[in-house]
Structure 1
Amino acid sequence: MHAVILAGGKGTRLRPYTTCVPKPLVPIGDTHSILEIVLYQLRAHGFTRVTLAIGHMGHLIRAFVGDGSRYGLNVDYTDEPTPLGTIGPVLNLLPALPEHFLIMNGDVLTDLDYGAFLRRHMQAPAPVTVATYRREIRSEFGVLGVDDSGKHIVAFREKPSVPFQVSMGVYAMTRATLNRYQPGQVLGFDTLILDLLAAGERPGSDPFSGYWLDIGRPEDYDTANEQWSTMQHVLLPVSPSAAD
């Protein structure tokens, strides 16, 4: 099984932690970088090949990960001199990718079984399957319902919560879905989903209720470090030495 990890972003929201190192290499719990954790997880979940899409400070990622042998993986690289969006870097790789493969952000901490997720996609007719997570926004105010005139209150809710599903930054992809796009073009996840919907093709949702953190902001990074001592045994299903 093959995974493409998107690791080319500048990590501007995570500064100052990303001033000297790319976001995928920031340490969690002073033991492993985010990217190392992901690589160990992928190996434990049955993946054998990984392509790292690198850009900003990519030479540091290349020097750190190398050929992936110490993780029990075959790792190669694709360079992104200019930002191509979430899906754009993958377009140049299509001839070398299997029919079904994984795409994921390089700053995700989760105990999602990536292998089982990809296999579920392979059994479904969806052009792409998105790992989704339930979030909710709680209003700080009482919410009023008013009639069309705006002069009469017809309903009231005290600080309601609005639930919704968000993308976890993990996608199971079928190669044919991307054949319609030209290599080198900028292609974001949002554009891909809107194009599929406009064409009458329905992307799949794979709801997940386990542990998930998108390390995009300093407060998220602080949370990850605070929780590492209790979550390490979950996020590292095998000891790093087992990959040697």
Structure 2
Amino acid sequence: MEIIVKQLKAKGFNEITLAVGHLSELIMAFFNNGSKYGLKIEYSKEEKKLGTAGGLGLLKNKLEDDFLVMNGDVLTGLDFSEFLEFHKETGSIATIALNRRHVDIDFGVVELDENRTLIGYIEKPKIDYLVSMGVYAFNESILEYIPSHEYLDIPDLMKRLLSEGEKVNGFIHDGYWLDIGRPDDYIKANEDIQKIYRELGVSIDEA
């Protein structure tokens, strides 16, 4: 999370709000008011779990214009300022940062028609996906779709926006990205940072 804070500062962001719940005291003691990073850090404490989007309902009087929302366990070389600028240019209510993922299938994949007649056979195909990086750019109008003090995850918020005919865009980042959701991911992040620190935009000493 500290790397994210330093990346945001390096890209010209001056105000950050951290949504905290469990272990909030430790996080607040570590980051304090953000002065040691040269920016302002405030905190939004959730007394109950509100999901990845529900916490924004507590900030309706603070958020304006366009802003970034991201998970705190992301390690990426994404240029946050470029991403936000892309979002503004599209005029959409939301933009999702996306990363390409490849899945190797170890078997031959068979295609049948409705009569169970073979119409295709692909030996050990590679399937490509675009996956969410856990980084989003929102326009303040999105707050109309987020109730206060109610649980809401971002996938459900996206579905709500689409059902209402709102414009949602994707921004494809082909560089480094890791979601540090498991102990193995944390180990990998510590190994990778020695190789990709230049892409992160902060030095190893700073991180």
Q: Place the TM-score, normalised by the shorter chain, in its bin.
A: over 0.9
Separation (CA, whole Å) in 1 of partners of 2:132 and 2:84: 15
Letter of the aligned partner of 1:164 in structure 2? Y
Per the TM alignment, residue 160 of structure 1 is displaced from its structure 2 partner at its CA by 0.9
Separation (CA, whole Å) in 1 of partners of 2:184 and 2:108: 28
TM-score, structure 2 normalization: 0.94
Pair 1:155 & 2:128 matched: no
Moved over 4 A (4+): 238-241
Secondary structure at the counterpart of residue 51 of structure 2:
coil
TM-score, structure 1 normalization: 0.80
1:181-206 deviations in Å (ceiling 9; x for gaps):
32111111111111111111221101
1:121-155 deviations in Å (ceiling 9; x for gaps):
112121100001111222121111122122x3221
Q: In the alignment, which residue of structure 1 is the partner of 2:40?
A: 74
Per the TM alignment, residue 240 of structure 1 is displaced from its structure 2 partner at its CA by 6.8
Per the TM alignment, residue 238 of structure 1 is displaced from its structure 2 partner at its CA by 5.9
From 58, 64, 74, the equivalent of 1:98 is: 64
Letter of the aligned partner of 1:169 in structure 2? G
Secondary structure at the counterpart of residue 126 of structure 1:
coil
Q: In the alignment, which residue of structure 2 is the partner of 1:170?
A: 135
Show structure 1 runs of 5+ residues with no match.
1-34
From 36, 50, 53, the equivalent of 1:84 is: 50
Kindly report which structure 2 residues correspond to 1:139-154, keeping only aligned pairs within 5 A, or say none: 139-150=105-116, 152-154=117-119
Separation (CA, whole Å) in 2 of partners of 1:121 and 1:144: 40
Q: In the alignment, which residue of structure 1 is the partner of 2:102?
A: 136
Contact 1:133 1:165 in 2 (8 A): yes
Secondary structure at the counterpart of residue 64 of structure 2:
coil
Secondary structure at the counterpart of residue 127 of structure 2:
strand
Separation (CA, whole Å) in 2 of partners of 1:106 and 1:165: 20
Letter of the aligned partner of 2:48 in structure 1? T
Contact 1:71 1:240 in 2 (8 A): no
Q: In the alignment, which residue of structure 2 is the partner of 1:32?
A: none
Separation (CA, whole Å) in 2 of partners of 1:97 and 1:175: 6
Per the TM alignment, residue 180 of structure 1 is displaced from its structure 2 partner at its CA by 3.4
Between the two proteins, what is the percent identity of the paired residues? Answer: 40
Separation (CA, whole Å) in 2 of partners of 1:225 and 1:215: 10
Contact 2:95 2:137 in 1 (8 A): yes
1:188-235 deviations in Å (ceiling 9; x for gaps):
111111111111122110111111111112222221111221222332
Kindly report which structure 2 residues correspond to 1:1-244, keeping only aligned pairs within 5 A, or say none: 35-150=1-116, 152-237=117-202
Per the TM alignment, residue 236 of structure 1 is displaced from its structure 2 partner at its CA by 3.9
C-alpha root-mean-square deviation of aligned residues, in Å? 1.5
Per the TM alignment, residue 73 of structure 1 is displaced from its structure 2 partner at its CA by 1.1
